[in-house]
Amino acid sequence: MKKSILIFIFLIGFTIFSYPFISNLFATKEHYTLINDYHEKVHEMEAEQITKEKAKAREHNEQLAKSEVVYVDPFSDEEESESTVGNKSYYDALQINPAIGTIHIPKIDVELPIYHGTGEKTLSRGVGHLENSSLPSGELGTHSVLTAHRGLPSSKLFRNMDEMAIGDHFFVHVLDETLAYEVQSVQIVLPHETEWLQFSEEDNIVTLLTCEPYMINTHRMLVTGYLVPYEEEIESSQEEAINLPFFIMIGIVIAGIFTIWLIWRHKRKGGRANEEK
């Protein structure tokens, strides 16, 4: 009886411990499936269609640059900004499949789909594009803000964003373009401090926004990158870096499953021995 209780306690403990790892594996697989689907659809598009989608994004960004921009903190309880909610031209631009692009951050080993808006449903499955910021493009005079959670147990998303440092690179894939950004600042600000998200006529900027501190969320972390020439070897070399924690995670899960199997097998043999007696 005691042995059964100990096995039951072990199984509960292992399930609780392994849930974040296993759920993250499933989330990662889902992300890669959607990302591959996005790139396949772009590959199948005619050049004329790609040009039209870029024109839609450019038109949105030009209108945005002429207006008075008001940002809404994506992690507050407020509704999405009025100027983009229901705005068909915004939601129509870059809409290839559910995603409008993808982002690859080699330093923290994530590749994620980017979606319109920052509603809770959106942020639970990937990276949201902050309303009233520029849509990702290769043009100067734009500032795109991409945001994601850090504390979701089911997916790491921007969980390790605090590892990013000045000089690191991240890559935004939009239609047939890969836009490379070099981090020039990492800041911790209060949710209402949005002056850091303003446009610069001379630059192409992308800011990655998430909560800080981890699981407390009283502040916001801004990782800001400026457009630099894309060099494939930089992305490839960073992508090929071995992610040791990932392999440790896989090892722990496999070891746990093997241990459960051994316990079950031992118990089964013990039961048979008792029956034979």
Let me know: does 222 contact 186? Beta carbons within 8 Å.
yes
pTM for this model (two decimals): 0.78
Residue 275 in domain? no
What digits encode the pLDDT tens for the residues 230-250? 987 666 655 544 444 555 555
Please indicate whether residue 155 or residue 254 has the higher confidence score (pLDDT).
Answer: 155
Residue 94, domain member (yes or no) = yes
Q: Domain for residue 262, yes or no?
A: no
74 CA to centre of own chain: 14
In a domain, 26, yes or no: yes
* Confidence (pLDDT) at 104: 96
Provide the Cα torsion 64, 66, 70, 75; round to 10°.
20
CA distance 124 to 149: 7
Output phi, psi for 224, to 5 deg: -110, 125
Q: Domain count of the chain?
A: 1
Q: Residue 90 — very low, low, confident or very high, per pLDDT cuts 50/70/90? A: confident
In the annotation, is 31 catalytic? no
Rounded Cα distance between 100 and 90, Å, is 11
Q: Tens digit of pLDDT for each residue in 24-43?
A: 666 667 778 889 999 999 99
Question: What is the rounded CA–CA span in Å between residue 38 and residue 33?
Answer: 9
Q: Looking at the domain assignment, is residue 40 inside a domain?
A: yes
For residue 82, what pLDDT is reported?
A: 43
Per-residue pLDDT at 263 exceeds 60? yes
Does residue 257 lie in a domain region?
no
Regarding predicted confidence, which is higher, 142 or 153? 142
24 is a domain residue: yes
What would the mean pLDDT of 58-82 be, rounded to a whole number?
A: 77
Asked if residue 273 is part of any domain, the answer here is no
What CATH number did the domain enclosing 234 receive? 2.40.260.10
User: Which of 31, 60, 149, 173 is an active site residue?
Assistant: 149
Distance, C-alpha 168 to centroid of its chain: 17
Which residue range is the domain that position 173 belongs to? Answer: 2-241
Q: Is 211 a catalytic residue?
A: yes
Closest CA to 217 of 121, 261, 152, 271: 152
Residue-averaged pLDDT of the chain = 81
